[in-house]
A and B are shown apart, each in its own frame.
Chain A
């Protein structure tokens, strides 16, 4: 109503710019869009002031990336830019009383500077109430690397304020599907944790499923039906080189890496009966772990590598069991709360399992504490599946459906906060969050 032709025009320009920016940012694939679907009341207010030395609103707008990351964690409520009265770019320029009035508890400022052939990013984190400096660092960067530097800043700020390492510099793998059945196209994609920089690592007319990160975060194991039957592959992300590690008769599915990265747990079938095996990658030594008439699948390793958690319907419906990898290989049931519990995924500290649970008529994501066996349901849709913990344990990414389409979603591990990562083209599904590199 109030739009003048001039603002309309500028909006159109902004939309075109945004479009051009999106097209430039996505080599052949649609960007994931982040929407907060359930916020938290006690999120910490923080001001992330636009950084000096760079234009606002571009793809490498550091403050925008940092604010988005912090918002995505569910623990912070970044101040809107339009509410910022001043634009300090160093600690000395901050007038703390301004930011107290804006009710920000913390403030992040910084600037980008030329540094030799590249760039350097200075940033500072201050407590607004006390004026105390909490962080001040200079990070080397490049024009292309500014988003990565911004994620690193978000990691450091998050860790300084919560005590938990940030996971914003990690990546996610997922499967995107477009086209109508039966002519569908499947793509395995690796993107930044905020959905940015999607990169297709495999494309096929046949299904791709169950991507799993190696513990060093350098390789993906996955299932591909490209030979019209299922097979498990391991692919290096750095080189793109891949090898087919299991193409036995019947089913080859549900790969999961052992904590030392030497073995894969797999689901194989003989005469249609699914059982769990472990495969030593270097020697191709196969060891059978379960053997009964039920469906045994979706193995996940315990933190110490001594046992596997898995889904089985040996008691009539899907439940999670644990089997020790010793001589006896005796399986014990782990879940008792609901009539369907499947696809266990271990938390980084080894103390919790994320799983799919049938809760009041809907398939939802639950987190079970292994010590108390207490199951907490995090989500509330009808068709949530494929949970995967962030490497800092603070969030769980999973697949959900909205409006008949698959999208990804992230919930804080306490369930207080939810957001959706949806694609505007086709389905996205089967997310897996990259672990921290071992060097950390």
Chain B
């Protein structure tokens, strides 16, 4: 049952990955230029440092970390369709490596009251958490935190900045 689920997710995310376009606000993640190919993660700093061979897990992690931010619409905690495969790729990794951990960091743009925005950021993190759980990730693998508007990705008080700040970052341990 579980294996079926994993396979289903894997197939689903492969299929979606093939047709997914580079997502709009990704300049913010400041990663190396993306080719979209799953193997391009080799050489990305995943903590290995030296020329030693990356383990399969490290390679898998490096690959999914190229897209580790889910962006949201104003006042919304719904995962937009373009980010469904992003969440799925992280779910797939976490299911495959049950000792792996992820921290979901929810954020909002700067509009409105600060503590209320902590609530909105938490709601976003919880949406991603539920999506991961639905795809077979176990509760113990996930922690959430909400920074509200306290840790913007970019400065600025325009819609372009707001769009990059309304997000959940999927941060993997090590």
B105's nearest neighbour on chain A, judged by CB, is A228
Is the C-beta of B13 less than 8 angstroms from some C-beta in chain A?
no
Residues in B neighbouring A66, C-beta threshold 8 A? none
B113 engages A298 (CB within 8 Å)? yes
B115 CB to closest chain A CB, in angstroms?
Answer: 4
Tell whether A311 is near chain B: CB-to-CB under 8 Å: yes
A363 touches B155 (CB 8 A): no
A343 close to chain B: CB less than 8 A: yes
Cβ-defined contact, B150 with A207, below 8 A: yes
Chain A, 220-236, contact with B by CB distance < 8 Å: what is the 0/1 string? 00000100111000000
Interface size (A, Cβ < 8 Å)?
A: 39
A383 touching B111, Cβ below 8 Å: yes
Question: Which stretch in B19-27, B85-93, B117-125 binds the other chain?
Answer: B117-125
Which residues of A have CB within 8 Å of B119? Answer: 251, 267, 274, 295, 297, 313
Question: What is the CB-to-nearest-CB distance from B108 to chain A, in angstroms, rounded to a whole number?
Answer: 12
B151 & A184 in contact (Cβ 8 Å cutoff)? yes
Residues B120 and A230 in contact, CB atoms below 8 Å apart: no
Instruction: Select one of B114, B118, B145, B151 contacting A182, CB under 8 A.
Output: B151
B157 close to A (CB within 8 Å): yes
Choice from A184, A250, A298 contacting B116 with Cβ under 8 Å: A298
Interface residue tally on B, bucketed by range = 20 to 34
User: Chain B residue with minimal CB distance to A295?
Assistant: B119
Contact with B along A170-188 (1 / 0, CB 8 A): 0000000000111010000
| A350 interface hit (Cβ, 8 Å) | no
Contact B125 A272 (CB under 8 A): yes
Q: In angstroms, how far is the closest chain A Cβ from the Cβ of B81? A: 22
Chain B residues closer than 8 Å to A225, beta-carbon distance: 145, 147, 150
A binding-site residues for B, Cβ under 8 Å: 180-182, 184, 207, 209-210, 225, 228-230, 250-251, 253-254, 267, 269, 271-272, 274, 295, 297-298, 311, 313, 318, 340, 342-343, 356, 363, 382-383, 385-386, 401, 404, 429-430
Shortest beta-carbon contacts, A-B, top 4: A295-B119, A272-B126, A207-B150, A342-B113
Query: Beyond A182-B153, A385-B114: 12 further Cβ-contacts under 8 Å?
Result: A181-B155, A210-B115, A225-B145, A272-B123, A295-B123, A313-B116, A313-B119, A318-B112, A342-B113, A383-B111, A404-B156, A404-B157
